[in-house]
Amino acid sequence: MQTAAGTGPKRPEGIDYWLNEKPPLSITIMAALQHLAFLGAIMTLPVLLANQAGLDDEGAAGLVSLTMVGAGCGVILQALNRHGVGIGLFSPMHTSAVAFPASLAAVKLGGLDLAFGMMLVASSIQLIMSRILSRLRSLFPVEIAGLIVLILGIGLGLIGLRAFLALDTPFEGKILTFQTGFLTITVIILCNIWGRGRLRSFSVFIGLLAGQAFAVSTGVVNKSLVEDIFQVPLFAVPPIAQFGWEFRWEMVPGFMIVGLALSFNCFGVLTVAQRANDATWKRPDIPGISRGLLAEGLTNTICSLINGVAQTASGGAIGLAQASGVTSRIVAFVMGSLFITMAFFPPFAAFWISLSMPVIGAVLMFVASFIIVGGIKIITSRLLDTRKIVMIGLSLIAAIGHDSVMMSHFGRPEGTVLSPLANTITVALLVAVGLNALFRLNVHQSVTRTILLTEDWHKSATELLWHLGHQWGARPEIIRRLEHAICELLDALYGYNLSAIPEVELKAVFDEYRCQVYLTYQGQPLPIPETRPEPDDLLHNQEGFLALAGFLIRRQTDGIRVETKNSTCVVTMTFDDW
């Protein structure tokens, strides 16, 4: 992963094994198993799809196994970063809840073969989006990327809360259900916060095993699912492409929308992955996300061809890696290999399916907290004016209200399963992108103002710069540097009478990566030395103080030059925002 300036990322605090670092073999295997246990808990979606398709236990097991193969391929492709494929970070995938409603509708209409055939349309959209994402960069400013991350975290946390309470299951409302969930999350928190070394790294795995053991001993788990672990065959070859593929033109628009929703989800999760691996992160690395989106599109193509359920980038897995302090992509290759290998051993899939709901819920809520806070940090890393506050607020209300108000109160109207209104992220993103485009109509990236060098020039200049910073959504650090340099320059012009008339024209040009300021005045040029003036120069002549002012201004900028023509001086200052 490279920053925009071509420099490498900086290790974040709390990360023990980072990027390309190779952990000890025991830690690598345990970290991989911890993620497998976490992601395997979401393997219930293929089972639900199999039940709707009327498959027997053997058919359901085959569908789960093929989905595991697809997940293993996905995590390896994502970590590769070779030949333009993969973001090159540890970013596992899980069974996609985004694509599940559309796949379920296809199963009801024509069977699993139609679901797999139409998912090829969705994966094709992902592949196309990966090629054009860089051209759409203006639609995804940093605050919208943070909004997507925040919504992903809230959504994951709410799913976890439902599982924690075991809603709509035989265990809902029972005291043992609450005890199981609280035990799981308590063990995870104790190990993660007060534990050291491997105890902290594997806190989620330890909590999951402790919670599941308690659930089995107290009966907070389906006994038949536990018995299946010992009754299924020890080894079985997954039935590749056993259902085939079917294609219907009337479902193409719906699955194109599914492809867009998967792309938006991938954008948000990979933004989390980039931020989790770089302490100096400033904005999404669009080329890296494009490679990651290409890897996910290829993964879903593979899943459709082998008849596995669609995958999507897992924000929960990123949160888990961040919490455990192991984000090395070496773990991804081991994990992917284990995922594919375990697909040939049905007892592993049976174990994941048997996990108690409160245990799954506790794990999901824990990792969601890291994603939620990460999204908030991304949003607040930029200055926000009223436009951006309204845009973020209304989009967040639309996202939270999508399921809790609109769908629960009005139900899911006929046809919305394959429409943009079927997905929380898509709804929020449509609101955010639409409002962002509307509010930018009166925002100028190039602004020219006149500053009068009177006694209160400092106040007017400072207010102008911070007002522009809020409009542009710049980082506070950039505006502080800008304020310091410009005020130092204006102070020198005012204090040493360098400007023949008390009037300075300020022109500021801002884009996502750089701000350039042009100060034009009539009078004498200010010297801008590359080295600090000697103490003797400061003691014996006024030019020494002028040189010191110019030197301090240079220190605040990333580039400065002074041009003079017919007593007109133009000072050009550059401030990089990489």
Residue 12 forms part of a structural domain: no
pLDDT at 4: 43
Rounded Cα–Cα distance for residues 521 and 186 (Å): 65
Q: Are residues 247 and 316 in the same domain?
A: yes
Q: Are residues 422 and 454 in the same domain?
A: no
Contact 51, 104 (CB under 8 A): no
The domain in which residue 497 lies consists of: 444-576
Q: Are residues 349 and 496 in the same domain?
A: no
- Could you tell me the pTM of the whole model? 0.81
Residue 17 forms part of a structural domain: no
Q: Structural domain tally of the chain?
A: 2
Q: Are residues 420 and 468 in the same domain?
A: no
Burial (0-12, 13-18, 19+ Cβ within 10 Å), 455: exposed
| β pairing state of 311-313 and 446-452 | unpaired
Q: Are residues 461 and 397 in the same domain?
A: no
Residue 5 forms part of a structural domain: no
Q: Are residues 73 and 164 in the same domain?
A: yes
Residue 8 forms part of a structural domain: no
Q: What is the pLDDT of residues 362-414, one digit of tens each?
A: 998 998 898 899 889 889 888 888 888 999 999 999 888 877 776 565 555 55
Residue 553 forms part of a structural domain: yes
What's the whole-number average pLDDT of the chain? 88
Q: Are residues 409 and 451 in the same domain?
A: no
Q: Are residues 103 and 171 in the same domain?
A: yes
Residue 465 forms part of a structural domain: yes
Amino acid at 130: S
Which range, of 85-89, 447-451, 509-513, averages the lowest pLDDT?
A: 509-513
DSSP per residue, 322-360: HHHTB--THHHHHHHHHHHHHTT-HHHHHHHHT--HHHH
Looking up residue 465, the CATH number of its domain turns out to be 3.30.565.10
Q: Are residues 199 and 291 in the same domain?
A: yes
Residue 172 forms part of a structural domain: yes
Residue 13 forms part of a structural domain: no
Q: Are residues 432 and 476 in the same domain?
A: no
Which range, of 36-45, 487-496, 509-518, averages the lowest pLDDT?
A: 36-45
Domain end position, chosen among 411, 439, 467: 439
Q: Are residues 420 and 396 in the same domain?
A: yes
Q: Is the pLDDT of residue 419 over 80?
A: no
| β pairing state of 93-95 and 559-565 | unpaired
Domain end position, chosen among 393, 408, 439: 439
Q: Are residues 191 and 255 in the same domain?
A: yes
Domain end position, chosen among 392, 408, 439: 439
